Structure 1
């Protein structure tokens, strides 16, 4: 069983470090509001994974993955949210807003950071497809399926927390550089375009 868990951890680790919407959302928040809000955003993303994990173990995620209508609704909501965050970053870059103090970061950078992370992750139907399609193939055969799935969900959440949390701290070390007006405007534009790109990709993706 240990060998199977290690192999599953390797696969989940590779999938975790691939850049995606979660990393773009975390980058936007950490650079604009500081490492504390960045970590809160990571916490929201991790909570979103746990929500999907509970739905998967309960069998509800499979229903979403199998229902074209439900999948499309969640997909479009998630895409719209990512586009909204991207447009928000582009508008801020045009206005030339300065980075807010950490204590005011949540209010100035688009609301509660934990909620931002949670919503962006919960509205990503690809997680449902990932959990119902891939995780069962990685589940240790010596465990009951629901226990094995729960274990892998917790493992994925832990890897995400460690990876994105570490990424936030790296960004924090370089925040003085990112706070320079020209750099900040450029980064806002890049993250804005990236978020809009991910939103469009999510909206046009097949189930």
Structure 2
């Protein structure tokens, strides 16, 4: 395992990386704005679960396969791009009247009409179908494994789990911040369907960007 200084550096770097907006953050924020903090937190938990898949896969060598095999990388890349495009198109053409979130209902803590399982599974697939996440773990985590370390697989796994667990409060923070903004900004409430359009366009952009991504180590 890395020493205390390296471990603290690893934690700090992980927090900074998780604060960077991307498809995962957009997914959390979109659901928090539309359906409240609970939906955003559930979205974050789905993303966290998907990230665990990448961590275990990278530790077992599947991530290395994605890095080495253009075919494997491209298959997962196109699946991920197609899913992001699907989410984007669905948001882009969603019905305006179903997206406005009553402020009073949020403030009262009333149950919201949202399928939390669908939110959770959507977050899971948004993360799992992105091969860049697997490549990231292969590139980032080994930098904090000391040379000559035995049982590198277990050390890699421990650091990956630590990175993912540390991401949970960041994801919750994104969800709470977005829900707070939705409760207090009447403009956000009135224009929620336009936010869906913006989010849809961004998801489509992320999908196209992923589709045009080359294997970074090929």
State the TM-score, normalizing by the size of structure 1: 0.89
- Change in Cα spacing, 1:3 to 1:181, as seen in structure 2 (3 Å) is closer
SS of 1:19's equivalent in the other structure is coil
- Shift of residue 179 of structure 1? 7.7
Determine the structure 2 residue equivalent to 1:9: 11
CA-atom RMSD in angstroms: 2.1
- Change in Cα spacing, 1:178 to 1:122, as seen in structure 2 (3 Å) is farther
State the TM-score, normalizing by the size of structure 2: 0.85
**Distance (Å, rounded) in 1 between the aligned partners of 2:34 and 2:204:** 17
Higher mean C-alpha displacement, 68-77 vs 174-183 = 174-183
Residue correspondence of structure 1 range 1-207 to structure 2 within 5 A:
1-92=3-94, 95-99=96-100, 102-106=111-115, 112-141=118-147, 144-176=151-183, 177=185, 182-207=190-215
**Distance (Å, rounded) in 1 between the aligned partners of 2:179 and 2:41:** 11
**Distance (Å, rounded) in 1 between the aligned partners of 2:197 and 2:73:** 30
Higher mean C-alpha displacement, 118-127 vs 135-144 = 135-144
**Distance (Å, rounded) in 2 between the aligned partners of 1:98 and 1:40:** 18
- Shift of residue 134 of structure 1? 2.2
CA shift digits 1:157-191 (9 cap, x unpaired) = 12221111111011111223368554212211211
Higher mean C-alpha displacement, 144-153 vs 134-143 = 134-143
- Shift of residue 126 of structure 1? 0.3
* Gaps in structure 2 of 5+ consecutive residues: 106-110
SS of 1:134's equivalent in the other structure is helix
CA shift digits 1:128-155 (9 cap, x unpaired) = 1111122111224456312221122112
Higher mean C-alpha displacement, 180-189 vs 131-140 = 180-189
**Distance (Å, rounded) in 2 between the aligned partners of 1:129 and 1:22:** 16
CA radius of gyration, larger in: 2
